[in-house]
A and B are shown apart, each in its own frame.
Chain A
């Protein structure tokens, strides 16, 4: 029964990884941009929440909406003000620019908030549990996290499938020049894609900040988890990303169960094994 418990915890953790990964996948899909600052954007969101909590003394849950708005504006501005120009120069220049942004974010956070680990205190929900049996205990907070991530993915799927701008996103992902010929302003669209990505990572960043502590250099590790989730699931597949996150989460929890501290290593090994045997990912979209 203890294994059942581990697997449930892993699945719930996977939802959190999927929240981080969805924005990454969106940005890569729409503009073929490998965003190395994505993890740091998430950490930045947690710090913004921390700052709001510090001045307004509210539960971090209530800050999420504000953090989402701030991150969306920030994302749009960074894309239009910097990354669009870097992408004009070439894909490698764009990757380097995101790497630079990552370093800037880390150092600004270090300067402003010190290197000490911080946490967001959400109160009683953090420790509240649903006890299914003596060995199977589900925490309310991880459960809420997983439910929110499914809702976010459903929302994203609806947006991409049913709205005018969502279709423009997919058209641009298919053929950017043809999309421009339809009247789609790609520079604005890229800005919107980054804004959406950072809105989603804002949710993930605050949730992960409540779940564990964070410090200014926590971003790159989260970036790796997010990439692993995207690649396990298969590029371009939203639900694949969720499954990828779940596989990674379960592997980590089981690894830690087998030997304390092995979780992250086991997660990477499972990722590498899947990469070796199914490099296109589990649910890669077959187009063309």
Chain B
């Protein structure tokens, strides 16, 4: 049984359909990257998994359990943590408070505040700073740390590199090996194909709401990815 199963998911916003018949299996411990151009439906896919978008219960199964109808706050309790595009840190709360709120679901495990500070040393001297005063990179680190505080079995990372300088992106991705090593299953969405492929065991490429390519990055050539990404 896969940790996460999407069965023929089609969804969207109002009359706009963003996903068409998505089927996806993610195994426990796997790192899976979803790549694709702007508007390909990557973020919609993650939102369907974390519960910001609902679908028929059976179409999203987590650890065998139908969760498609559950609201996000219930899915966190089961171990699905979503680090949103745009970061969504709590601006008036301090860094430490953001992390404490991240642990609201009371799931225990290896991730604690100290471990998060160890993972992102840049955060540890900002503990008492309000999150609105942080730089974009610091906010992204905080958002990921906050997402880990619920000790998720599945961590969803949405466009980590968005709007950040390459140097900063590099710094954030330095944390990836430690997250993967902790046993957390990671599903990440990236426009930056290079970053995505570096850590992923498997990749899925999306185009206009449909899956167009899936496999291990070792087996897929750059030309195939290029063709799938741009739909040529």
Contacts and interface: CB of A to CB of B under 8 A. Distances in A.
Given A174-B90, A174-B91, A175-B88, A181 B101 contact: no
A285 B130 CA distance: 12
Interface string A156-195: 0000000010011011011101111111111000000000
A288 B132 contact: yes
B84 interface: yes
Interface residues of A, number: 21
B92 A180 contact: no
Interface stretch (B71-79, B115-123, B181-189): B71-79
A171 B76 contact: no
Given A168-B101, A168-B104, A287-B130, A180 B90 contact: no
Contacts of B88: 175, 177-178, 181
A177 B52 contact: yes
Contacts of A171: 90, 93, 97-98, 101, 104
A167 B93 contact: yes
B195 interface: no
Given A170-B93, A287-B92, A180 B71 contact: yes
Contacts of B93: 167, 170-171, 174
A106 to B, nearest CB: 36
A180 B73 contact: yes
Nearest to A236: B92
Contacts of A186: 73
B20 to A, nearest CB: 25
A105 B82 CA distance: 43
B42 interface: no
B73 A178 contact: no
B43 interface: no
Contacts of A288: 91, 132
A171 B97 CA distance: 9
Nearest to A165: B104
A253 B30 CA distance: 70
Contacts of B71: 180, 185
Nearest to A189: B73
Contact of B92 (A170, A179, A181, A183): A170
Most chain B CB inside 10 Å of its own CB: which residue of A183, A184, A186:
A183
Contacts of B77: 183
B45 interface: no
A244 to B, nearest CB: 20
B95 interface: no
B76 A181 contact: yes
A288 B88 CA distance: 13
A22 to B, nearest CB: 18
Interface in B92-117: 92-93, 97-98, 100-102, 104-105
Given A175-B88, A287-B91, A167 B72 contact: no
Interface string A244-288: 000000000000000000000000000000000000000001011
A35 to B, nearest CB: 22
B150 interface: yes
Given A167-B97, A175-B90, A182 B146 contact: yes
Nearest to B50: A181
B199 to A, nearest CB: 23
A181 B84 contact: yes
30 contacts: A164-B100, A167-B101, A167-B104, A170-B97, A171-B90, A171-B93, A171-B97, A173-B92, A175-B88, A175-B90, A177-B72, A177-B88, A179-B101, A180-B73, A181-B50, A181-B73, A181-B84, A181-B88, A182-B73, A182-B76, A182-B102, A182-B104, A182-B105, A183-B73, A183-B105, A185-B73, A186-B73, A287-B92, A287-B130, A288-B132
Interface of A: 164, 167-168, 170-171, 173-175, 177-186, 285, 287-288
Given A174-B90, A178-B88, 4 more contacts: A171-B97, A171-B101, A179-B101, A183-B105
The 7 A-B pairs at the shortest CB distance, nearest first, are namely A183-B105, A183-B76, A178-B88, A174-B90, A171-B101, A287-B92, A180-B72
